[in-house]
């Protein structure tokens, strides 16, 4: 851009008193220069990812070259040659300073200076003194190859992990399908070999005037029947769409609904519809093989059973640490369930029991939560042990010097 401006000034002086044709020529040149600069600025962001590393490599070689030339200049006995070398050094240092300055600008996305021009200029210095930088160039090339190999190894390892996870997920699905429906077969006549479905639990749930017919086994398989055509074979539901209660193997949570889940008990024929906001509603459900049993007497909307907010000791400490006033306001006049690992069961000055829960911070217990049991229910305190994980329902949430405190605590678990 500076070259265009210089040319413009020279021609302006020569053609100051010239005709209109000369003035138009100058305006055309200036417009062309501005257009060229705009094109360079638009292209700079795309060029930066490759040009900046190249410029940095030149900068490293440039610093090495200056060191080599400085050593040669100091050892040169001829004053004339030494002076000439100092002149070269001065020029190289100046160009290296420009190169580094423009690298810094481009790294913060300031493309006003032409980095590509500095790269071309400095390439000439490196070519002229290629013999002096050969060793350093080879070292940098070897280091770059090593870094490329390291990155390639990391990428390969990550790809292998992803492939392993996908394979494990695929194998899990295949194992589920095999356990529920037997080995898959390419034999088209195998479809006539109907599986033994006599041990399956059957349930029909009615929600929003629709019927959802399901089959299940206590081993954790779940199928959906066509609600209108019994001749269609039940479709195995993907294992990712439900949760099986291993403590009560006839209970499932089915998440295949658009706006919520179904909580199902296949032996007691009790069903809940759970919306995304947590609201649960008892719905009519019954044994598919039997007549419709009216369950409307228990179909009343209920809110989630746990109305008390639950927070760990560590999270409560973090909340006070982030904003004490906000946390006090958040838990004001509320009963809260606080969870954590018992680090101490002590007594205060009046021999009242005090429970300390760990905040999981490595500070020798300084940031533990101090909880005072309810005076009406102290018996549970004597059964607690250090290291035991507990849930305590407390009120009067507060702090002392930033450390969580609570009173009137009773044991939940």
pLDDT at 299: 43
Q: List residues bridging with 201 in a β-sheet.
A: 216
| C-alpha closest to that of 227 among 208, 207, 210 | 210
pLDDT in tens, 304-363: 344 678 888 888 888 888 888 888 888 888 899 999 899 888 887 777 889 999 887 765
Q: What is the mean pLDDT of each run of 10 residues along the chain (413 residues)?
A: 52 53 73 86 92 93 93 88 91 94 94 93 93 91 90 93 92 90 71 65 89 93 91 91 92 89 92 87 86 42 56 88 88 89 85 86 67 85 88 88 86 81
> Which residues fall within 8 angstroms of residue 358, CB to CB, at 6 or more apart?
313, 314, 340, 341, 342, 343, 365, 368
| C-alpha closest to that of 368 among 412, 396, 338, 333 | 338
Positive or negative: CA dihedral 319, 320, 325, 328? positive
Residue 100 CB neighbours (<10 A): 17
Report d(CA 309, CA 225) in Å as an integer: 39
- Could you tell me the CA-to-CA distances from 227 to 207, 215, 242, 255 in Å, in that order? 13, 12, 19, 18
What is the DSSP pairing of strand 336-347 with strand 310-312? parallel
pLDDT at 100: 95
Structure tokens at 34: 């501005």
Between helices 2-14 and 20-75, what is the axis angle to 10°? 130
Element (H, E) at 207: strand 201-207
Under CATH, to which class is 310-411 assigned?
A: mainly beta
pTM of the complete model? 0.45
Exposed (0-12), middle (13-18) or buried (19+): which is 261, by Cβ within 10 Å?
Answer: buried
Structure tokens at 355: 């429970």
pLDDT at 382: 87
pLDDT in tens, 141-155: 899 899 889 999 999
Report d(CA 111, CA 45) in Å as an integer: 8
pLDDT at 11: 54
Residue whose structure tokens are 């969580």: 404
């Amino acid at each position: 851009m500076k070259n265009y401006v210089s040319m413009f000034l020279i021609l302006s002086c020569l053609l100051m008193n010239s005709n209109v044709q000369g003035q138009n020529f100058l305006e055309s040149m200036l417009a062309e220069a501005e257009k060229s600069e705009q094109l360079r600025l638009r292209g700079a962001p795309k060029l930066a990812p490759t040009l900046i590393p190249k410029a940095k490599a030149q900068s490293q070689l440039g610093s090495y070259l200056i060191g080599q030339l400085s050593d040669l200049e100091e050892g040169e006995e001829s004053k004339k040659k030494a002076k000439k070398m100092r002149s070269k050094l001065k020029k190289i240092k100046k160009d290296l300073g420009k190169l580094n300055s423009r690298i810094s600008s481009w790294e913060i996305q300031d493309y006003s200076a032409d980095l590509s021009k500095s790269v071309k200029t400095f390439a000439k210095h490196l070519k002229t003194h290629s013999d002096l930088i050969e060793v350093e160039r080879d070292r940098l090339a070897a280091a770059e190859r090593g870094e490329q190999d390291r990155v390639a190894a990391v990428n390969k390892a990550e790809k292998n992990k992803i492939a392993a996870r996908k394979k494990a997920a695929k194998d899990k699905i295949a194992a589920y399908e095999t356990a529920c429906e037997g080995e898959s077969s390419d034999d088209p006549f195998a479809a006539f070999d109907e599986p033994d479905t006599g041990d399956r639990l059957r349930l029909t749930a009615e929600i929003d005037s629709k019927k959802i017919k399901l089959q299940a086994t206590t081993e954790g398989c779940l199928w959906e029947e066509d609600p209108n055509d019994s001749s269609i074979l039940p479709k195995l539901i993907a294992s990712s769409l439900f949760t099986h209660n291993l403590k009560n193997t006839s209970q499932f949570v089915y998440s295949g609904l658009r706006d919520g889940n179904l909580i199902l008990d296949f032996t007691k024929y009790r069903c809940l519809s759970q919306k995304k906001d947590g609201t649960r509603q008892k719905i009519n459900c019954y044994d598919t093989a039997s007549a419709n049993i009216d369950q409307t007497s228990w179909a009343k909307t209920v809110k989630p059973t746990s109305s008390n907010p639950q927070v760990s000791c560590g999270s409560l400490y973090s909340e006070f640490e982030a904003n004490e006033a906000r946390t006090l306001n958040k838990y004001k006049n509320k009963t809260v369930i606080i969870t954590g690992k018992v680090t101490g069961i002590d007594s205060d000055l009046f021999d009242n029991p005090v429970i300390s829960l760990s905040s999981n911070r490595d500070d020798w217990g300084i940031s533990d939560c101090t909880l005072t049991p309810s005076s009406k229910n102290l018996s549970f305190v004597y059964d607690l042990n250090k290291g035991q994980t507990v849930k305590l329902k407390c009120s009067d949430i507060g702090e002392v010097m930033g450390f969580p405190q609570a009173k009137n605590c009773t044991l939940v678990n």
